[in-house]
Structure 1
Amino acid sequence: MLKIRLKKKCKKLCHAVIAGICISGSLLTTSLLAAELGYPEKEELTFGFIKLTDMAPIAIAYEKGFFEDEGLYVTIEAQANWKVLLDGVIDGRLDGAHMLAGQPIAATIGYGTKAEIITPFSMDLNGNAITVSNEIWAQMKGNIPKQADGKPVHPIKADALKPVVEKYLDAGKPFNMGMVFPVSTHNYELRYWLAAGNIHPGFYAPHKGDTSGKINAQALLSVTPPPQMPATMEAGTIYGYCVGEPWNQQAVFKGIGVPVVTDYEIWKNNPEKVFGITKAFSEKYPNTTIRLTRALIRAAKWLDENDNANRPEAVKILSQSNYVGADREVIANSMTGTFEYEKGDKRAVPDFNVFFRYNATYPYYSDAIWYLTQMRRWGQISEDKPDSWYKDVAAKVYRPDIYMAAAQSLVADKLLLKSDFADLVDEDGYREPQKHFIDNIVYDGTAPNDYINKFKIGLKAGDKL
């Protein structure tokens, strides 16, 4: 288990904090804001993460001293996989973690491990891609329109993959692809892209004990931990995968595969990871919860400010073995405003990773509801639910009240500007209907059942396997 221990400015936090904080023998008076917020009830914390570039807000909050500014002394531990990470938060070994957005939602409704997990902070937008092996790319390429310079027209739809999948199936060969976890964005994005190209990714039937997700599937999706994706594909176990960075760019650098589409092209500015804690933690340590949220908001702002000017420094930090541990050049290939598809085909994608702009850090109810619609679409939710159920679950898991308390206190403390949160003043938690999907289907989070019924492939009202 990799651990990162915070370099404390003092060996011990003076507990006579009513008067001030003891740092290297000097007495610093606390701000009025600190008194208003209250001191953290729990000062020493352990956070978990998976080796992906979108864990960056945690790393930056640590490295830039934002956690320490809040009186929080943090240990950060890399986790083996998403299940180990979730279990660590549930059993208290971890106080919080970089999580798949679907994990707190699934835990709350009892899909998999039952637990009350909340999120006061959405960690990022976008950041994933779908990669196929060189062998599959060679077969797809002829099905893709070309630009004047001979390079493929993007976005590449799964229509180009469909004849390849059909050829494998006709030959009696299963078409295997990888994703990182059953309730991950990657699973739903890969399914969304495949289904939009009329390739069935399969159903789940938990009420029958079937959690494989392969019922009626033309493409068979299975779980592989993110850092193992390139090697698993190189070994021929899977023909492609959906994963976060840097593991798509790693395939390009190793010369073993081609990223064909980013999640930005599947759903523009889609929510990706969240920071998850137990509901019990938030209730037992309310000041600590607001303070860790403050630190993460500041980190996200730092990552995006001045048109991503800090990204090269962030890449250097993330390349360390105790964080992501990939080569700096591999991480930079996507995190500094570009993305490389086929080797040599590097294109400008300034919003491939978004950490703060477009209200990226705000936990929208409608984001949570989108995940629930996909769980229902693919059978992880076995039966119909009324729209009110979707909204109630979202409100249990996503906590904009905690987020706004943190944001308002940062403005009061002059650490961020009021304009940084101007769009959130009258926010009701629901984004305007979103139109930028690869299949042009519009998503309105206030009408989840209407949305589910729009899809050609997937369960609809009244359907049950």
Structure 2
Amino acid sequence: MSWYKKLVKPAIAALAIGSAGLGHAQELEKDELKFGFIKLTDMAPLAIAYEKLFFEEEGLFVTLEAQANWKVLLDRVITGELDGAHMLAGQPLGATIGFGTQAHIITAFSMDLNGNGITVSNDIWEQMKPSIPKRDDGKPVHPIKADYLKPVVEKYKAEGKPFNMGMVFPVSTHNYELRYWLASGGIHPGYYAPKRGDIGGQIDADALLSVTPPPQMPATLEAGTIYGYCVGEPWNQQAVFKGIGVPVITDYEIWKDNPEKVFGVSKEWADKYPNTHIAVVKALIRAAKWLDDNNNANRPEAVKILSQSNYVGADYEVIANSMTGTFEYEKGDKRPVPDFNVFFRYNATFPYYSDAIWYLTQMRRWGQIAEHKPDSWYMDIAKKVYRPDIYAEAAKQLIAEGKMSASDFPDFDSETGFKPPQTEFIDGITYDGSKPNDYLEQFEIGLKKGDVLE
């Protein structure tokens, strides 16, 4: 055993237990942990929990390790090579219902809101631009709807050319946001048909969506393999800095304050290490609050940390473009978007059932869930995967220890896990998480109650 483990580790662990407050010292079942992440700015709560010693103060000794792609990351959580990971919000749900990989994954912590954008190549942008309304200063009126992309896609179809676009994973927020935006403009993004073994998601598609790992998006766009993509930061801003593409819309404009990533662990791991799991959530909550404290005053320091090669590894200026409350669309058209990245405000860290159900509705809309399911099924899966009970225990300990205040959190005595009906979608459709089937029936493009792709 190294001198660190002999001397420093016991001292920090003792401090963690000593600061836990009366009745809240919990013996950790496992204190050496390895967490995975993908090189995106929204992995920030993990980096901050590590760098600001929040993990250590909870008695945890964590290694953070970048993963090659989302599939590798999920597989390594399932096998136990990773104790947990920064995950796409759809990954625990997709795995638990058996779309792709079958495994029971849970989340007790939502990592952020917003954070994504849709970028098109310079050539596609020039074709879209003439029909987009302009402000008095000549700059485009935002949000830019997919209506302005539709004539371009139709032209490519008429010429017999496939209109290829990239997203990061079949159950990623990016896939569903890109599909949502396209469909709201009358562009069909295609169906999945798992019953017939078709998991490509391109049946009946006007635009053909396929998987590209986030850091490879700009290069793939530059090569002409895809004409646009949906991805998290900093890979939209990277296209601007490289002069190869134009972000046309952020996910904040598609669905205001949408949930993005989660911290996921296997159900088996959570059952085996309950106190450890709570300690992890406590550290992540503290990191998320630090990121949003004092009107984002800590963001420049966070950007400096994230720009390190072991985290995101993009230039400081590229990451800062969105992390510090602005977003650059066309080169030189930088606009204030103070909530582009939200880590703690608006109860961003709370795992709402209604967030889980929205992802499940999109899986059904596009055929990843092959058959109609009753509303009760959506609720059952949400409760199986999203664990606000674990989150509430972590929050209550932080309050008892004086590290946070009750006002930082929802009222756990009255919280139902459902947000009020949400209206701020680009297509004007209201989402009520308690009525998933009624929600699905409102879309012009998408599977309805009786539809099954055999």
Alignment TM-score, normalising by the size of structure 2? 0.97
Q: Do the aligned partners of residues 229 and 412 (structure 1) sit closer, same or farther apart at CA in structure 2, a change above 3 Å counting?
A: same
Q: How does 1:184-195 map to 2 (within 5 A)?
A: 184-195=172-183
Alignment TM-score, normalising by the size of structure 1? 0.95
CA distance in 1, matches of 2:392, 2:446: 36
Task: Tell me the residue number matched to 1:457.
Answer: 445
CA distance in 2, matches of 1:22, 1:110: 44
Task: Tell me the residue number matched to 1:22.
Answer: 11
CA distance in 1, matches of 2:320, 2:77: 30
Is the CA contact 2:166–2:209 (under 8 Å) kept in the aligned structure 1?
A: yes
Q: How does 1:128-207 map to 2 (within 5 A)?
A: 128-207=116-195
Q: CA deviation at 1:262?
A: 0.2
Which residue, 7, 22, 27 being the options, matches 1:39? 27
CA distance in 2, matches of 1:57, 1:447: 32
Q: Do the aligned partners of residues 274 and 221 (structure 1) sit closer, same or farther apart at CA in structure 2, a change above 3 Å counting?
A: same
SS in 2 for 1:41: coil
SS in 2 for 1:302: helix
CA distance in 1, matches of 2:130, 2:115: 27
CA distance in 2, matches of 1:270, 1:29: 36
Q: How does 1:92-131 map to 2 (within 5 A)?
A: 92-131=80-119
Q: CA deviation at 1:13?
A: 6.5
SS in 2 for 1:99: strand
- Report the residue type matching 1:357 in the other structure: R
CA distance in 2, matches of 1:27, 1:380: 48
Is the CA contact 1:10–1:23 (under 8 Å) kept in the aligned structure 2?
A: no
SS in 1 for 2:346: coil
Task: Tell me the residue number matched to 2:289.
Answer: 301
Is the CA contact 2:35–2:62 (under 8 Å) kept in the aligned structure 1?
A: yes
- Report the residue type matching 1:211 in the other structure: I
Task: Tell me the residue number matched to 1:287.
Answer: 275
Q: CA deviation at 1:29?
A: 7.3
Does residue 392 of structure 2 align to residue 392 of structure 1?
A: no
Does residue 5 of structure 2 align to residue 11 of structure 1?
A: yes
Q: Do the aligned partners of residues 100 and 346 (structure 1) sit closer, same or farther apart at CA in structure 2, a change above 3 Å counting?
A: same
CA distance in 2, matches of 1:28, 1:133: 50
Is the CA contact 2:15–2:57 (under 8 Å) kept in the aligned structure 1?
A: no
- Report the residue type matching 1:219 in the other structure: A
SS in 1 for 2:18: coil
CA distance in 1, matches of 2:294, 2:441: 42
Is the CA contact 1:337–1:348 (under 8 Å) kept in the aligned structure 2?
A: yes
SS in 2 for 1:358: helix
Q: How does 1:210-359 map to 2 (within 5 A)?
A: 210-359=198-347
CA distance in 2, matches of 1:312, 1:452: 41
CA distance in 2, matches of 1:168, 1:61: 47
CA distance in 2, matches of 1:35, 1:428: 27
- Report the residue type matching 2:424 in the other structure: H
Q: CA deviation at 1:421?
A: 1.1
Gaps of 5+ in 1: 1-7, 16-20
- Report the residue type matching 1:30 in the other structure: G
Is the CA contact 1:108–1:114 (under 8 Å) kept in the aligned structure 2?
A: yes
Percentage identity across paired residues of the two chains: 75
Q: CA deviation at 1:36?
A: 2.8
Task: Tell me the residue number matched to 1:3.
Answer: none
Q: CA offsets per residue over residues 169-202 of structure 1, 9 Å max, x none?
A: 0000000000000000000000000000000000
CA distance in 2, matches of 1:299, 1:382: 39
Q: CA deviation at 1:417?
A: 1.2
Q: How many residue pairs were aligned?
A: 452
Q: Do the aligned partners of residues 46 and 28 (structure 1) sit closer, same or farther apart at CA in structure 2, a change above 3 Å counting?
A: closer
